[in-house]
Amino acid sequence: MGVQLKKLSEQVLVITGASSGIGLVTAREAARRGAKLVLVARAEDALRQLAEEINAAGGEAVYVAADVGREEEVRRAAEQALARFGRIDTWVNNAGVSIYGRILDTPFEDMRRLYETNFWGVVYGSVVAAEILRQRGGALINVGSTVSDRAIPLQGVYSSSKHAVKGFTDALRMELEEEGAPVSVTLIKPAAIDTPYTKHAKNFLEKEPAVPPPVYAPEVVAEAILHCAETPERDVFAGFGGKALSLVDKYTPRLGDKVMETFMFDAQQQEEPAHPRGDGGLYEASGELKERSGDPMYVSESSVYTKATLHPFLTGALFAGAGLAAVALMTRPRRADGKGGGNGHARRRTQEHVWPNAAGLPAEG
């Protein structure tokens, strides 16, 4: 892209949705690496607690309680960031809400509210950030989802909002590149992630909602976000499960529909009955400073695929080194007593640990 980005330790980051899940993990890790932070979310008490935690540990963070679905509040967050630090180097649009339920059971006002956060929050944040970043350079990072490529049932409204985010982000990227603006625009596409996402969603199901496997740790997404704050990337899948679903939709979309219809309804519902929750986090902030859901499930703490995507040269070097070592072992002369060397009979089989997901696709361990 020809865009030069600073080291994270020299940056000022604005992170929306910083009070829980992916945003919270990203904020803590960015602070640990020396970045200055502007924390944005609706939950003021949680943000205050997070800022105090970071500052007490030797970091530097301020917070702005704001609803990203309101343009004036997004602009206020940017103004406070500039007033405190004098610049913004990376803006991360991460805030999001969800609804579990069939589309025909979802009121229009709830659909609109979801779009105010998931789509318009990204639009307001992107436009405000681009106005600032195009002057001095920097990174704009929008957190979308794998469902921007492959919609899933029972989260149809959420899926459609992420499709909109992808289209908007791709178009904005081209316009900024065409004018020569020194801005890197990245779309992060997380797979299913273990965050309080289901706890904050409005639920129209009879059972408690669940995220379908394979499920990854929020640190996988945070690693991708912070990498893209330093290194221009077009888009990144956080977790191979998301990439697999995207490939299914690209090459066998009708088969993907049938697989979804067979597995995805049950995979998104727990056994226990739905808990009373009102509107969840759709209209009101949860106020919880939590990184994960606490639900009993297997979570992949890392993603080999994502690491390889973010560090292709290092990955290539490791594979090349492993290949050379294997060749050396196989071609080593055998000893007279028959020991040593490689005759192919004593080779050990190794296999990366995989877990089946709801669609029957392999998932990383």
Q: What is the mean pLDDT of residues 234-248?
A: 95
Domain contains 214: yes
The answer to whether 22 and 222 are in contact (CB under 8 A) is: yes
Residue 323 has pLDDT above 80, yes or no: no
Which range marks the domain in which residue 188 is found?
8-270+280-312
Domain contains 218: yes
pLDDT digits (tens, 9 = 90+) for 37-49: 999 999 999 999 9
- The per-residue pLDDT for 328 is 55
How many domains does one find in the chain?
Answer: 1
Q: What is the mean pLDDT of residues 317-329?
A: 48
- The per-residue pLDDT for 77 is 98
Domain contains 110: yes
- The per-residue pLDDT for 106 is 97
- The per-residue pLDDT for 307 is 94
Residue 209 has pLDDT above 70, yes or no: yes
Per-residue pLDDT band at 329 (split at 50, 70, 90): low
Q: What is the percent of the chain with per-residue pLDDT over 70, rounded to a whole number?
A: 85
pLDDT digits (tens, 9 = 90+) for 144-191: 999 999 999 999 999 999 999 999 999 999 999 999 999 999 999 999
Per-residue pLDDT band at 364 (split at 50, 70, 90): very low
**Chain centroid, CA 354 distance in Å:** 21
Q: Which residues are catalytic?
A: 158
Residue 7 has pLDDT above 80, yes or no: yes
pTM of the model: 0.85
Least trusted range by pLDDT, from 106-120, 202-216, 278-292: 278-292
- The per-residue pLDDT for 358 is 42
Report the 10 Å Cβ neighbour count for 252.
Answer: 12
Q: Where would I find the H helices in the chain?
A: 21-32, 44-56, 71-85, 108-118, 120-136, 156-178, 197-200, 218-230, 240-251, 253-267, 304-310, 312-331
Tokens of residue 269, six digits = 């519902």
Tokens of residue 11, six digits = 């940056």
Q: Cα–Cα distance between 204 and 206 in angstroms, integer?
A: 7
- The per-residue pLDDT for 162 is 98
Per-residue pLDDT band at 354 (split at 50, 70, 90): very low
Domain contains 356: no
Per-residue pLDDT band at 331 (split at 50, 70, 90): low
The answer to whether 365 and 353 are in contact (CB under 8 A) is: yes
Residue 360 has pLDDT above 70, yes or no: no
Domain contains 319: no
Domain contains 365: no
- CATH number, domain of 183, equals 3.40.50.720
- The per-residue pLDDT for 287 is 80
- The per-residue pLDDT for 218 is 98
Q: Cα–Cα distance between 251 and 167 in angstroms, integer?
A: 20
- The per-residue pLDDT for 288 is 86
Per-residue pLDDT band at 347 (split at 50, 70, 90): very low
Domain contains 352: no
- The per-residue pLDDT for 312 is 78
**Chain centroid, CA 149 distance in Å:** 14
Mean pLDDT of the chain: 89
- The per-residue pLDDT for 280 is 75
pLDDT digits (tens, 9 = 90+) for 118-135: 999 999 999 999 999 999
Residue 346 has pLDDT above 80, yes or no: no
Domain contains 76: yes
